Structure formats: structure tokens, C-alpha cells
């Protein structure tokens, strides 16, 4: 069964704590993305990666970090520098192909601050 998995489904963070959200895909896609979704707002790009060991900042990268050591995995760390982390986080992947890309999304992780 091919797809994108994210874990955990819900995550609670204490003040000053770093937390890591997992994203794994078995679609053999080159590109992976992290988005943040807040109520009443569209998806905002945090980081993206086109190939292993390379990634680029999106529009709201401050307070977040990522790694891309394996093609299948693109974990996102929400650091203590992110002052307003409560949101729904979506991971996506896409197959670059020759020209066009379609993004496929994981089920999301909802992060809440205690």
C-alpha cells in the first residue's frame, strides 16, 4: 500500500521544548514538503526538499528545522524558537517527473501547546 504517513496524529508541546514530527513516504517521490495550516488560512510552506541531503526554506521557516537523510523520510522539528506552534501540520510529496508535479498529502499532525 503506497502512501504518506505522518506521526503522531496529535502532539503536545511544553514551553521551551523541541518536538519532531515524522513524515514517511513509500511512493518513491523525490520531492517532499511541509506545510502549516491555521484556521481561516491556506497552507503555508515551511520547508521543502527536492532531493536527498538538500532542502530549501519556505515562507515561514523561522523556528523550524528539517533533515532529508533518506528519500523516504522528511522529519520536521518545531523548536522552542517557534512562539506560536499550535497548528495542523501537513506533509506532502510529489514525483518530479519530466515537468508536472502533483502533490499528495499525509493525514497530518495536530500540534498543541500545553
Stretch that binds other proteins, among 18-26, 35-43, 61-69, 70-78 (CB under 8 A): 35-43
42 contributes a contact to other proteins by CB under 8 A: yes
Cis peptide bond prior to 96, omega within 30° of 0: no
Nearest residue to 26 via CA among 101, 98, 93, 107? 93
Q: CB of 50 within 8 A of CB of 58?
A: no
35 contributes a contact to other proteins by CB under 8 A: yes
11 contributes a contact to other proteins by CB under 8 A: no
34 contributes a contact to other proteins by CB under 8 A: no
Per CB under 8 A, contacts with other proteins among 51-70 are 56, 58
Q: Kind of pairing, strands 109-113 and 43-51?
A: unpaired
Cα(77)–Cα(70) distance, integer angstroms: 16
Minimal distance, residue 105 CB to other proteins, in Å: 4
Q: Which is nearer to other proteins, 48 or 64 (CB)?
A: 48
45 contributes a contact to other proteins by CB under 8 A: yes
Amino acid at each position: 500500500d503506497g502512501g504518506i504517513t505522518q506521526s503522531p496524529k496529535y502532539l503536545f508541546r511544553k514551553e521551551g521544548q523541541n518536538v519532531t514530527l515524522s513524515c514517511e513516504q513509500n511512493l518513491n517521490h523525490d520531492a517532499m514538503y511541509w506545510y502549516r495550516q491555521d484556521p481561516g488560512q491556506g497552507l503555508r510552506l515551511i520547508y521543502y526538499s527536492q532531493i536527498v541531503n538538500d532542502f530549501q526554506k519556505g515562507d515561514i521557516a523561522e523556528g523550524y528545522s528539517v533533515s532529508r537523510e533518506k528519500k523516504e523520510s522528511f522529519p520536521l522539528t518545531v523548536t522552542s524558537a517557534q512562539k506560536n506552534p499550535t497548528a495542523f501540520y501537513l506533509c506532502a510529496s510529489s514525483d518530479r517527473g519530466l515537468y508536472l508535479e502533483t502533490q499528495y498529502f499525509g493525514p497530518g499532525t495536530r500540534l498543541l501547546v500545553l
